[in-house]
Amino acid sequence: MTLILILTAIFNVSVIILLAGIAWYLSRMTNYLKDVWVYFNLASKEQADTNLKLDEMLAFLKITFNKKFAEKLEDVIRAKEGLPPTVKVLCDDGKEHELPEDIGF
């Protein structure tokens, strides 16, 4: 009879510990899910703002992209062509420096 009481007490304590563990785990999980939900809401708002900014930028480019703009953009792209070619030179300080090539020296 005493053995049955001891085993019942051990079983009841084990069930109480198991239920407490499950409750703790679920409370941690709800906190995690709440954080995930907040992150999801913020991320969706940021995505909507980003899409709006991209739409505004595309509308701006459609308005401003004309022949004059294309010529200016081409000038900017081809600006490097006007620079003299460079060579890497090992200087006295032991470092390599990029210097303009001396043509006709």
Whether residue 23 lies inside any domain: the answer is: yes
Domain count, the chain: 1
User: In one letter, which amino acid is 25?
Assistant: Y
Q: What pTM was computed for the model?
A: 0.36
Q: In the prediction, which pLDDT does 16 show?
A: 93
Query: Considering the chain, what percentage of its residues have pLDDT values greater than 90?
Result: 12
Show the domain range for 37. Answer: 2-100
Q: In the prediction, which pLDDT does 103 show?
A: 66
- Ramachandran class of 3: left when φ > 0, alpha when ψ lies in -120 to 50, beta otherwise: alpha
Whether residue 67 lies inside any domain: the answer is: yes
Average pLDDT over residues 30-42: 70
Whether residue 18 lies inside any domain: the answer is: yes
Question: Which has more pLDDT, 53 or 74?
Answer: 53
Whether residue 64 lies inside any domain: the answer is: yes
pLDDT above 60 (res 105): no
Whether residue 60 lies inside any domain: the answer is: yes
Q: Tell me the pLDDT of the chain averaged across its residues.
A: 77
CB within 8 A of 85, min separation 6: which ones?
Answer: 100, 101
